[in-house]
Amino acid sequence: MSLTTVLLTILGIAVFVLGLLFSIAWHELGHLSTAKLFGIRVPQYMVGFGPTIWSRKKGDTEYGIKAIPAGGYIRMIGMFPPGADGRLEARSTSPWRGMIEDARSAAFEELEPGDDKRLFYTRKPWKRVIVMFAGPFMNLVLAVAIFLGVAMTFGFQTQTTEVAGVQKCVIDQSENRDTCKKSDPVSPAQAAGLKKGDKIVAFDGQKVDDWDTLSGRIRDTIGPATLTVLRDGQEKTLHAVLAENSVAKKDSRGEPVAGEFVKAGYLGFAAQQEIIPLSFGDSVVRMGDMVQNGVESIIALPTKIPGLWDAAFSDGERAADSPVGVVGAARIGGEVMTLDVPAENQVAMMLFLLAGFNLSLFLFNMLPLLPLDGGHIAGALWEALRRNVARVFKRPDPGPFDVAKLMPVAYVVAGVFICFTLLVLVADIVNPVKIS
């Protein structure tokens, strides 16, 4: 590895880390701003974990940066209500009860005169939902802004109706080969005289402007068809007889389904690819696909554990869709800077990487599990439901829902997350996901 490659890799990692720090600070700013808006006292706003590198106190909040850029937090007074006896501290011989009491006690650290009116749990449930949702929402806003901005100005690599190459024969795509045998029939494109550089502008007399439309019509046609192509600035009509062939199955988004094939019409050429800016509508659709993929990835996380284990501790191959942690994402950022592509491509890829990271932060934090933001949101919604039901049936107000009682579960969830994070970390170090 040359010195230039090393320096570019370090630069890419540094750029990603800066983007990561900004994303974390942006997330915590959502919590901070809404907490202060509703009069909740916030003693600390920190980016990172571990030893404090820099901090400054302004008003009643200490702002700072810590050594490990793996997260961040704000500390709000009164995250949990007092116990049933009104006490903040009480010791118990039960380890589970001790966890609850420790969490309750920590929620009232640095309590000052007048803070009884600035406690988090005393705010109405809808205000607490806003405070806890504001952090992930900031990540969603940043992800959408980056994605739409890059998609509409730079664009995506998209297949076009221009011919990049002509297949000489008909090969069943399930056979996974590209070399023709003597027994293979001549491809319809080759027989019709289609050439590299031709741009198909109409199929069977109907205008085609994009690859998806052209591909769909080819798949739906078996037998004679006319192709209108633009060659050397002039339109030319070609006559082809499309064959039936086994081709890759496509999902609802038009993407190939790995390992699945269907019988369909076959012409036999490769489409040229270009980076094309998208319209606002197409960008929103792509963003929707990105969100859907993100949700599906979160749901599928448990199924990825065996593959991660094999990749980390055996000779297993690291799948392209394998979960990636902060270290793995930083390595990808470093690789992006070493790719032999134009600088604008590198910038776009780094921005897409940052957008994906922020979308993941949003989706992950919205899981209704403590200690995630979604767990606190679920607690506030449950409290609102209980109080409204009590009001409808004229029952006594049940009071604030004691989220602290769920802390034993939160510790178990946190332990699972830590184990999973460590597994991903090992895989990212010994068998990282790589880009080409």
Catalytic residues, by residue number, are 28
Cα angle: 418, vertex 423, 425; to 5 degrees:
90
User: Count of CB atoms within 10 A of residue 90's CB?
Assistant: 14
Instruction: Please report, for the chain, how many H helices and E strands are present, in that order.
Output: 11, 9
CA 232 to chain centroid, in Å, comes to: 43
DSSP 282: H
Please list, in sequence order, all residues whose beta carbon lies within 8 angstroms of the beta carbon of residue 301, skipping any fewer than 6 positions away: 323, 420
The answer to whether the beta carbons of residues 167 and 189 sit under 8 Å apart is yes
Q: Exposed, middle or buried: residue 427 (CB in 10 Å: 0-12, 13-18, 19+)?
A: buried
Per-residue CA distances from 147 to 59, 282, 284, 356, 357 (Å): 36, 12, 9, 9, 11
Task: Kindly state the helix (H) or strand (E) to which residue 186 belongs, with its residue range.
Answer: none
d(CA 339, CA 203): 38
Decide: 190 and 166 in contact? Cβ < 8 Å.
yes
Residue 111, helix vs strand vs coil = coil
What long-range pairs does 119-122 form, CB within 8 A, spacing at least 24? Answer: 119/40, 119/41, 119/77, 119/78, 120/35, 120/40, 120/76, 120/77, 120/78, 120/79, 121/78, 121/79, 121/80, 121/81, 121/400, 122/78, 122/400
Which residues, 6 or more positions from 42, have their beta carbon under 8 angstroms from its beta carbon? 32, 35, 36, 60, 61, 74, 75, 76, 77
What backbone torsions phi and psi does residue 264 show, to the nearest 5 degrees? -160, 175
